[in-house]
Amino acid sequence: KDKKMDSQTKAEPMRVLVTGGSGLVGKAIEHVVKQEGGCLEGEQWTFLSSKEANLVDLQQTIAVFEKYRPTHVIHLAAKVGGLYLHMKENLHFLRDNLRINDNVLQTSHERGVTKVVSCLSSCIFPDKTTYPIDESMIHNGPPHNSNFGYSHAKRMIDIQNRGYFAQHGRRYTAVIPTNVYGPYDNFNFENGHVLSALMHKTYAAKKEGAPLQVWGSGTPRRQFIYSLDVARLFLWVLREYDEIDPIILSVGEEEELPIKDAVEMIADALDFKGQIFDTSKSDGQMKKTASNAKLRRYLPDFTFTPLSEGIKKTCDWFVNNYDIART
């Protein structure tokens, strides 16, 4: 059989557009694609930042799709803020994220994009629930009230994915990572993710010879996942995962650990020898245990980076890149 004809009938190499490409997960995917052989021959990968296009604006979204002509999209872009800002401006986060998501999904559909993998957040889970939470429970009751706008907008991605499949046969899906941490995170004290904010606090306390003040009691438990693990799983979802229903990307339930254990790992990684004490700030939810049983059915042998190792790598990155880190 003619070899040349054979190769022409094969699908063309993917052109992948990654929205939110300059964020925590976007940078991790870029690393896996460029440094770990995640890019197959002939593929084009574009990492988009908000500087290049404001996806709240439909015309700018369409222009970017016309420029890069993606066959596949990884949709990470979102309007996010710290807890306090979300509480103050829930409507703003609702409307901006509804727009971003509709612009990206509808433009993908109109331009014939084969597959979209969007990123949901574990904050979308119902507030009052039984544990562990799995993929079938996402819409079973309202999310936590503090950032209801953002959470409902994120939930709508799942609803819209079902619609594109039901009406147009589109294979658009979503992943739900638990607490992601790693290089290029937001390390800001007020609105960074919990581990990254704690790394920055510990770094500052060490520099100033001051005690480390940890907000809350340190007893709430969380499942932490290293950004590069999330990135490797994203590539698997893009290439192999065929369901419309979302999939939780997380370490196992047994890996959920108190924040104070993570604080000790951070103190170790940064060689902080000072006092650590809790303050009277509120704790937030005590646990949000998610099940990774579905992921394990597909990938029984995937190895997650141990938390202490991921924390050490992230702390080293933060110290070495303090000048470019988001602080």
Catalytic residues: 150
Determine the residue type at 110. E
Pairing of β 72-75 and β 221-222: unpaired
The token pair that represents 160 in the structure block? 């819209």
Contact 100, 79 (CB under 8 A): yes
Determine the residue type at 181. Y
Among residues 100, 108, 237, 96, the alpha carbon closest in space to that of 173 is found at 237
Q: What is the DSSP letter of 14?
A: P
Mapping DSSP onto H, E and C, the string for 54-121 reads CCCCHHHHHHHHHHHCCCEEEECCCCCCCHHHHHHCHHHHHHHHHHHHHHHHHHHHHCCCCEEEEECC
CB atoms within 10 A of CB 116: 26
The token pair that represents 259 in the structure block? 């924040």
Among residues 262, 247, 273, the alpha carbon closest in space to that of 310 is found at 262
Residues comprising the chain, all counted: 327
In 3-state terms, what secondary structure has residue 208? helix
For 126, residues 6+ apart whose C-beta sits below 8 A from its C-beta are: 133, 137, 138, 139, 140, 141, 142, 143
Phi, psi of 247 (to 5 degrees): -130, 130
Among residues 285, 296, 211, the alpha carbon closest in space to that of 250 is found at 296
